[in-house]
Amino acid sequence: MSDRAPLGVFGGTFDPVHVAHLRLAEEAREALGLARVRWLPAGLPWHRDALRTAPEHRLAMVQAAVAGNPAFEVDAREALAHAPGYTVDTLAALRAELGDELPLVLILGADAFARLHTWHRWRALFGLTHIGLATRAGQAVDASALQPALAAELQARSRDAAHLRTAPAGAIVRFDMTPLAVSATDIRARLARGESGRYLLPDAVLEYIRRHRLY
């Protein structure tokens, strides 16, 4: 048993990190009662095509974006590994460092969750972490659209946020997120056309992009 505020874990390519990422992490922190959110910029994700932006730049942009929030912290291990990594291995490493009792919550959007069954050793994730599943306000997850084994896990493991403090791992907790139609793909295209990224990206990230001539 545990009665400690959970640590959120938020991974992604963050190419670049933008306001919707920041808002999702903040709403997860509030809705799920997280003590902190640890951001994990990916290095060379095995399930994605090669990224055009070097891990060191994506890491630096995340560090710049979260610098003003004391509840956010950045973990550089994946970004600096220079090798493809798996979430399950990262979480196992976190467990080894933080112990078996601290609740962990892996923050996922609905699209990422729908592909969870394609992740390496995906069932092992539930022994390492809870999952905080972000859904659009007022909309339920369509279990019939999920792969059957994943749908079964969602049905069996769904709990409310209060459960997160009582166990270190194993639950799926849904929470509402503010829908923001902001995407890294669109931002990269805008910047490539010479258009403004202001108000889509934190000012510190925009300055980093300008200084290093990214995108």
Sign (positive or negative) of CA dihedral 25, 78, 96, 124 = positive
- Where along the chain do its domains lie? 7-179
Q: Which fold has domain 7-179?
A: Rossmann fold (3.40.50)
Tens-digit pLDDT profile for residues 56-93: 999 999 999 999 999 999 999 999 997 778 999 999 99
Per-residue tokens: 121: 């050793």
pLDDT digits (tens, 9 = 90+) for 179-193: 899 999 999 999 999
For 171, what's the count of Cα atoms within 13 Å in the CB-facing half-sphere? 20
- Give the model's confidence band at 44: pLDDT under 50 very low, under 70 low, under 90 confident, else very high: confident
Residue pair 16/53 in contact (Cβ under 8 Å)? The answer is yes
In sequence order, what are the beta bridge partners of 104? 7
Contact 98, 35 (CB under 8 A): no
Q: What is the pTM of this model?
A: 0.95
Nearest-angstrom CA–CA distance, 76 and 40: 7
